[in-house]
Every structure is written in C-alpha cells, then in structure tokens.
Amino acid sequence: MKFGHLVVAFRPRSDSLRFSVSESHWPFIVEGLEPTLELSCSVGPISPRTDPSDFSIEKVWDIWRASDGSEEMIFWRGSREVPSWRLRIDPSFRRGEIEQAPIPRYGPFRADDSPMLQFVVVRALGRMGTLVVHAATAIVDNEALVFVGHSRAGKSTMARIAESLGARIPTDDRTILNLEGDRVFAWGSPWYGSLVRKTPEGAPVRSIYLLQQSAQNRIETLPPGRAIKELFVRLVQPRLSRAELERSLATLEELVGRVSVSVLHFQPTAEAFRLASGAAVPITG
Amino acid sequence: MSQKGVNAQYRRTDGYVYRLTVGEHLLVSLHARGEEPFYALTPTGALLWESLAEWSTLDDLCARLIGEYEVTRDQAAVDVMDFLEQLESLQAVESRQLES
C-alpha cells in the first residue's frame, strides 16, 4: 500500500498466509514499487510481555524500546488482557515483523487493521519528514486547499461544500503533507470522516486553512510561529520520539515558509469555500 | 522545590525537546497527550536550559547567567530558582542532593 510517498510492503512469513484489506484501502494498494517499509507478517499466539513498557496508551498499546533503537509494540483489543498485534521494527523503520493474534472471525491477516496500520504509517511518514494532519483536502485547478481542524471543526462540511462546487476530495479527515522542491504537497489517506472520501490523489498545496466556525466569513493570516504551533497540535503523529518530533517541527518550519497558513472563519456556505479558493490576498491580517 | 539550594544539583529530564523556532525558544513536551505541548523560554531560560544538559549546581547556573548578562549574583540566584521551580512543575528538571 502507498501513502503519499511511503510504500509499505506486507510479506507473508509462510506460504499459507492470506491477507485481507477492506474496501476503504483498495485505492491505496500498489504493486511493483520499491518498498520504503517491509513488514514480515504472520498469524499466531502473542505472549504479552510482563516487564514495564517505555510508553503506554492505556488499553490501546505499549512500546518497549531496545538500546539499539529498535521497538517492540503490542496493540491491545478490548482490554489489556488480550493482545491483538505485536510489531517489532528496526531502528531505521525500514523493516519489521508483525504478528496478528489468531482471532477466528477475522480469518486472514488484516493488513489494514486499526489502529495498527495507521500507527505504523504515521510513524514511518514522520521518519521521512512527512506530516499527517487532521485535515480535509480539496483539489481545485490541480492545487490543494487544506482545511485543518480537530474533530467537529467542520472538515467534512467544508469538503462537502467544496465537492458540490466541483472540487475533488482525496480525504475529508486525514491529509498527508510533504515537501517537494520548493512546494508543499497534500495527499489523501484511507482514514476518512463523515463524508467518507479516501483516495491517494495528491496535489501541490495552494493554501492551508485552520477551520474556525464563525458568524462571518473572513480570512485571518497567521504569523509563522503561531501557524507552526496550530498545525503541530493538529498532527496525527504521536510525540513518542525526540528525533521524530524534531523532524516534524523542522518540516513545519519549512512548510510555513512555502505556503500561507490562515484561519478561515466560516459559515458552512459556498461563499466560505469561494473565499478560501479565490482569496489570493488575505482579507484581514 | 525538593532538595533545592546550594547543596543540590539539577539536570533537565528527557521529557522535553528544545527548539528555536522562528525566533522563539520553545520547549515541546514528548509523550503527553491532550495537554498544551509548547512552553516558551526567554533567552535567559534557553541559556539555563542548555546548561542543564549536565548536572549543575545553583552556583554553576548563576555563573552562567552572570557571564552572559549584566546581573548581580543575588538577582541571578532569584532568577535561577524561579526558573528551576517552573521546570520542576513541568517535570522538566530533576535534582539530587550533594554530599556535604
């Protein structure tokens, strides 16, 4: 599967292993590309570790870090008593092993399982200096308008409005952002919002807007320092590693020098999207 | 502040990343979820943060300030203690008592 420029290859550890991928991820399946990250996959019983983990999100996952920088991670399902996945990954995040607990009703290896795949992808992208942000993206005239916001900020609403006006929507919930040459590119992801838009399409970014529902449509340009902070707190990437965090900040510093980042104070109307898509000059500063 | 004073040493913890971003000295918290991740440092704070990479006494930190800024020893001590207390409230610094 391909996410932005990240290619994740799932290799069966045995000939009998079969994979399943849900329909939402089908557009992201590619063949014949050099993988960025190779995961050797198997299904089998997972013995939970009993030693204290280095970092834990209760009832979701635990991470143990080895002195060589490699990581072992266990994802829990339902309660901490039932491990569902074990991921071992090398320090470069180029190769890993992943085991799925044999839960009968799932049958084959579920390559797209959540939160496992999303966690692996956002970490691997972060290592590449690529960001995953809570944002919808609308492509107009082959340029991307990125609408950033936490849950219920209006991402899917703005995406729905944009689509009704002819924009293509690669994602209405999680946008992948990377630097290429002197531009910033936005890409779709399989992780969608209430509009359920999920394609791998990408385009150079024209503008980034933080969504702020308001009584009046207007654009407020953000100074670079505030833009960095506002985008940082809306990243999907976890703050687990010093190197990854510094890379995210470095990417954001570059990004705000290449594209405008503004607050879009908006009512959920076509006028708000027209303002965002046509405003070459900010209305208010 | 526990163990503070002339007989203690201080060192920053691993829970934060320092970065000079667009002219602003920032401490960014690692690991924390759902909390404000950014804390701004003054240039003086950034200087002390750099010094706190190694175990440092109050005298070490005051000397660093006095070497860089026109400040009295007494004022430097007040500033350093204020800064250390703020860092301790963020669990950004640890301390240990020196043997007397």
C-beta atoms of B19 and A240 within 8 A: no
- State residue A104's pLDDT score: 64
A188 and A118 in a single domain? The answer is: no
C-beta atoms of A239 and B22 within 8 A: no
> How close B92 gets to chain A, by Cα (Å)?
14
Domain count, chain B: 1
A123 and A81 in a single domain? The answer is: yes
Within 37-76 of B, beta carbons closer than 8 Å to A belong to: 37-38
Q: Is residue A284 very low, low, confident or very high in pLDDT (cuts 50, 70, 90)?
A: very low
The tokens describing A156, both together, are 């899917």
A158 and A258 in a single domain? The answer is: yes
A60 and A139 in a single domain? The answer is: no
> How close B22 gets to chain A, by Cα (Å)?
6
**Does B4 map to a domain?**
no
| Structural domain range at position B68 | 11-92
Domain count, chain A: 2
Q: Which secondary-structure segment (H or E) carries A202?
A: strand A202-213
The sign one gets for the Cα dihedral A29, A32, A35, A41 is positive
Higher-confidence residue of A179 and A102: namely A179
The tokens describing A97, both together, are 């092993």
> How close B86 gets to chain A, by Cα (Å)?
21
What is the CATH number for A140?
3.90.228.20
- Of the three residues A127, A142, A160, the one that is the final residue of a domain is A127
> How close B57 gets to chain A, by Cα (Å)?
26
Calculate what percentage of chain A has a pLDDT beyond 70.
95
A103 and A163 in a single domain? The answer is: no
C-beta atoms of B37 and A249 within 8 A: no
pLDDT tens by residue, B42-95: 999 999 999 999 999 999 999 999 999 999 999 999 999 999 999 999 999 999
The sign one gets for the Cα dihedral A113, A115, A120, A121 is positive
**Does A177 map to a domain?**
yes
Provide the terminal-to-terminal Cα distance of chain B, rounded to the nearest Å.
19
A63 and A135 in a single domain? The answer is: no
pLDDT tens by residue, A60-114: 889 999 999 999 999 987 766 688 899 999 999 999 999 999 876 557 888 888 8
Q: Which residues on chain A place their C-beta less than 8 Å from a C-beta of chain B?
A: 55, 57, 223-225, 228-229, 232-233, 238-242, 245-246, 249, 253, 256
Q: Is residue B34 very low, low, confident or very high in pLDDT (cuts 50, 70, 90)?
A: low
B29 touches chain A (CB under 8 A): yes
- Of the three residues A127, A158, A190, the one that is the final residue of a domain is A127
| Structural domain range at position A84 | 2-127
Cis upstream peptide for A115 (omega within 30°): yes
Using an 8 Å CB-CB cutoff, list chain B residues near A245.
17, 28, 30
